[in-house]
Amino acid sequence: MSAPEWAIDVKGVTKSFAGKTVVNGISLQVAKGEIHGFLGPNGSGKTTFIRMLCGLLTPDAASGTCLGLDILKDQDALKRRVGYMTQKFSLYEDLTVNENLDLMARLYGVPERKKAVAEVVERMGFAGRGRQLAGTMSGGWKQRLALAACLVHQPELLLLDEPTAGVDPKARRDFWEELHLLAHSGVTALVSTHYMDEAERCHRLAYLAYGDLLAKGTIQEVVAAAGISTLVISGPKLGELAAALRHDGKAPQVVVFGGSLHLTGPDPAALNEAAAPYRNWPDLVWSQAAAGIEDVFIYLTEKQAKDNYR
């Protein structure tokens, strides 16, 4: 099998603000045509990292390429080949759909501008909505317009910063269907998200916490590398049980998931020891389960937080 061709191939990406390191020597490779999930808690450095990749911020230290361009020397050229979607809707609400898209096409110097705008309007389902003011649209349609604005200059790489935050489940599903169609056509995407179901839609993942890259790979690889197991308890009074287990402090991670309680940690024997005093609580069902991706991410985040404050 031939080696993959990298859309992103960077090493040692570092950025500090006011003496605080917010991105700490991150190295990342993303194959062309891949949807790469970028996960982590708020303040983990995801947005800063994405802005450095698209040339909006200059790293304190870094080496490598995006789309074959040096991320330090070729920032202007890189901006023309990348589509960047911010966390918040950043287009003009007092302009129409067509006017916003035409403005973006002008900024990128798109040839045959009217044709390019018409094509992206058709592709993104805006036929009949071209004269609608952006500010009058729902959150889902605003999100779709923001993606259309990223696509009007036909970028090879999309950097999408929490693109589905605050939109309804159907809009999120439609967005991901469109993203997979783009990937099938050869477009690469690095997508930051907090949603675990969206993580499962990605080809590969990278997980950041407090500026450090803690895990990367497919979901199966990330879960296996974490080396943790989960004890699942279902039944009544799970809130009381969770409070008691947290008070004891013997289980590394205690999290309520709807109708079940998850005890997670690297040592199954230690989990069973932590659970032993509560095995005789009435009407509880206990079972051992493989850790899920959400168990892994919560565990990694809490472990990193503890390590940082030691």
Bridge partners (DSSP) listed for residue 285: 234
pLDDT recorded at residue 301 = 86
**Averaged pLDDT, 2-14:** 89
- Sign of torsion over alpha carbons 275, 220, 196, 55: positive
Q: How far apart are CA 268 and CA 8, in angstroms?
A: 38
Which pLDDT value is given to residue 2?
56
Would the pTM count as exceeding 0.85?
A: yes
Q: In what order do the strands lie in the sheet with 229-234?
A: 253-257, 260-265, 229-234, 285-290
Q: How distant, in Å, are the alpha carbons of 6, 48, 196 from that of 24?
A: 22, 11, 24
Flag whether pLDDT at 6 surpasses 80. Answer: yes
**What are the domain boundaries of the chain?**
6-223, 227-308
* C-alpha distance from residue 274 to each of 8, 37, 154 (Å): 44, 34, 55
3 has pLDDT over 90: no
Q: Is the pLDDT of residue 1 over 60?
A: no
pLDDT at 73: 93
What CATH code would you report for 6-223?
3.40.50.300
Query: What's phi and psi for 11, nearest 5 deg?
Result: -135, 145
pLDDT for residue 310 is more than 60: no
Mean pLDDT (the chain) is 91
Percentage of the chain exceeding pLDDT 70: 97
Please state, in angstroms and as integers, the Cα–Cα distance from residue 289 to each residue in 116, 250, 269, following that order.
51, 19, 14
15 and 21 in contact (C-beta within 8 Å)? yes
DSSP codes, 169-184: HHHHHHHHHHHHHHHH
Domain boundaries 227-308, CATH class: alpha beta
**pLDDT at residue 308, as a whole number:** 65
